[in-house]
Amino acid sequence: MSKRKRAAILISGRGSNMAALIDAARRYGFPAEISLVLSNRPDAGGLAFAAANGIATAIVDHKAFESRDAFDAAIGKILESTRIEIICLAGFMRVLTDPFVQKWNGRIINIHPSLLPEFKGLDTHARALAAGAKVHGCTVHFVVPELDAGPVILQAEVPVKEGDDEATLGKRVLTEEHRIYPLALKMLAEGKVRLEGDRVVKS
């Protein structure tokens, strides 16, 4: 098997998508290894899960920095020192600076709980319900400087059912997130998907 790509997961909370990626990377033949879990919050629940699974963790508290540039620079140093090749954002609640994103162009991906370009930003399930959407879902996309606007790698749809609330709809979407995010990382690590300009090329 060819050398596995070294991936880092950036989190701010419990990291359920992080756990799905870690579980997938354990499987024989998976082309990426989770080499680092980094959080901007010292109390992020996902850090304990990562550590319990033998994965290196790092905390870069955004409150300790005077600017976003300084915060991103600190993250960048850690990623470089651990020889990271791919970044996966998993509930990372910080907007990364344009220079950081451009440096990692084509090597940084995110999972978003809507069928982009619908419902960018926060509270996606509530907004889908308020809009009377019949179909909702999730998207894995390349990260670009504009928030939630990067080219789509994979999407998964779920039905919006009669009587759904945020919790029931969110649970259905989360199941699909846990399925497609590892698949997207696998495709990227294998070179079966890449970013060319502003479009995704699959092979």
| Catalytically annotated residues | 112
User: For residues 79 and 77, what is the distance between their CA atoms, to the nearest angstrom?
Assistant: 5
User: For residues 80 and 74, what is the distance between their CA atoms, to the nearest angstrom?
Assistant: 10
User: For residues 136 and 13, what is the distance between their CA atoms, to the nearest angstrom?
Assistant: 23
- H-state helical runs in 26-96: 46-52, 68-81
Those residues whose C-beta lies under 8 Å from the C-beta of residue 126, and which sit 6 or more positions away, are 166
- Strand order across the beta sheet in which 5-11 lies: 56-59, 32-39, 5-11, 86-89, 108-112, 135-142, 152-159
Rg of the chain in Å (alpha carbons) = 16
User: For residues 177 and 132, what is the distance between their CA atoms, to the nearest angstrom?
Assistant: 22
Structure tokens at 135: 């179909």
- H-state helical runs in the chain: 16-25, 46-52, 68-81, 98-103, 124-130, 166-189
User: For residues 137 and 113, what is the distance between their CA atoms, to the nearest angstrom?
Assistant: 6
